[in-house]
Amino acid sequence: ETNYHQPQNDDKPDSWQNSSEEDEDYDEDSDEEETDKNTKISSSEDANVMDFYEAYLRQKEFPHKYNNEHKKFVAAKERMKKNQQHKITKLLQEWQAARDHVNEVRKADPKTADNMAKEITERFQNLYAAYEKEDEAEKEQLIGLHLQHVQAALNEKKRETMDKYMRALEKGDAIKITKYLRGYIKAEEKDRMHTVNHFEHIKYSAPQEAVRIHPVIVNHLRLSEQRIDQAMGMLKRYPEIEAMVRPEVEEFLKRFDSIANSIRDVVLPEPKVEQEVEATSQT
């Protein structure tokens, strides 16, 4: 069963809190991810230095060039695959050695060799099946941890940009108000897109799980939309600034119409898997 990692732990639209973060500029393009290809090359170069899979699971420090979640995840995934392939290769080698031994025994005692062959085949087939199950569990664990890391980063980005936006409002700085409000909206929309993509994956890979988590997903997206509305609503306290800022921000919001369409088409319709299962069982 696929374990769903809830997108956010503090889904409270009115729980804004200021932090003591320094008022740094928010670069809207600073979190662009490197390509998988480049990361794979880097991870292969460092493969003999550390086990990135174990390091990722244990949240150990990575070399400096793995400076974002995406790079760390790709390196961990590649190492996990290599570990799994090595394990399977070793098993197949042992299986072949056992078959070779059976062939030697067969020269002197065919009946005993037949019994040995049957036992060996059953034992190694069971081991192979167990390894496959173990590999799938490792993959699920890695993906689940990655989703948690991504969500934590999104939540932190939202907190930071909201703090900066609120401080800019207090200072009446229209330029920074626009900048940080846009930054906050972008962080929320990235969260929404992340949630939509994850739910779409679950719909196809684990339909029953999609039915179970559907209300949680819908509620998360609804609260995210409420938070954006509340952030926009804060402008009403400053009418002169609102007149300058709102038109530009509303135009900026149009960039994310595709996410709203995805929510409408992918998430809001309730999954039908339960009804389909019942209909099949009655047939």
CATH number at residue 237: 1.20.120.770
pLDDT of residue 273: 63
Q: Tell me: do 60 and 103 sit in the same domain.
A: yes
- Model confidence pLDDT, tens digit, residues 53-80: 999 999 899 999 998 888 999 999 999 9
Asked if residue 154 belongs to a domain, the reply is no
Q: Tell me: do 176 and 123 sit in the same domain.
A: no
- Model confidence pLDDT, tens digit, residues 122-174: 999 999 999 999 999 999 899 889 989 999 999 999 999 999 999 999 999 99
CB atoms within 10 A of CB 212: 16
Q: Tell me: do 186 and 106 sit in the same domain.
A: no
pLDDT of residue 3: 45
Number of structural domains in the chain: 2
Q: Tell me: do 191 and 234 sit in the same domain.
A: yes
Q: Tell me: do 178 and 134 sit in the same domain.
A: no
Asked if residue 162 belongs to a domain, the reply is no
Asked if residue 158 belongs to a domain, the reply is no
* Tokens read off for 19: 């932090």
Asked if residue 124 belongs to a domain, the reply is yes
Q: Which of 95, 117, 138 is the last residue of a domain?
A: 138
Asked if residue 15 belongs to a domain, the reply is no
Q: Tell me: do 176 and 98 sit in the same domain.
A: no
Q: Which of 211, 227, 183 has the alpha carbon at shortest distance from 8?
A: 227
Asked if residue 27 belongs to a domain, the reply is no
Q: Tell me: do 182 and 108 sit in the same domain.
A: no
Q: Which domain holds residue 252?
A: 172-271
* Tokens read off for 160: 């930071």
Q: Tell me: do 208 and 129 sit in the same domain.
A: no
Integer Cα distance of 52 and 36 in angstroms:
15
Q: Tell me: do 238 and 191 sit in the same domain.
A: yes
User: pTM for this structure?
Assistant: 0.69
Instruction: Annotate the chain with DSSP letters as a single string.
Output: -PPP--S-S---TT-------------TTTTPPPPHHHHHHHHHHTTTT--HHHHHHTTPPPPTT--SHHHHHHHHHHHHHHHHHHHHHHHHHHHHHHHHHHHHHHHH-HHHHHHHHHHHHHHHHHHHHHHHHHHHHHHHHHHHHHHHHHHHHHHHHHHHHHHHHHHHHHHT-HHHHHHHHHHHHHHHHHHHHHHHHHHHHHHHH-HHHHHHHHHHHHHHHHHHHHHHHHHHHGGGGSHHHHHHHHHHHHHHHGGGHHHHHHIIIIISSPP-HHHHHHHHHH-
Stretch 35-58: mean pLDDT: 67
Q: Tell me: do 110 and 60 sit in the same domain.
A: yes
Q: Tell me: do 134 and 91 sit in the same domain.
A: yes
Asked if residue 148 belongs to a domain, the reply is no
Q: Tell me: do 113 and 184 sit in the same domain.
A: no
Asked if residue 153 belongs to a domain, the reply is no
Integer Cα distance of 205 and 198 in angstroms:
10
- Model confidence pLDDT, tens digit, residues 201-241: 888 888 898 899 999 999 999 999 999 999 999 999 999 99
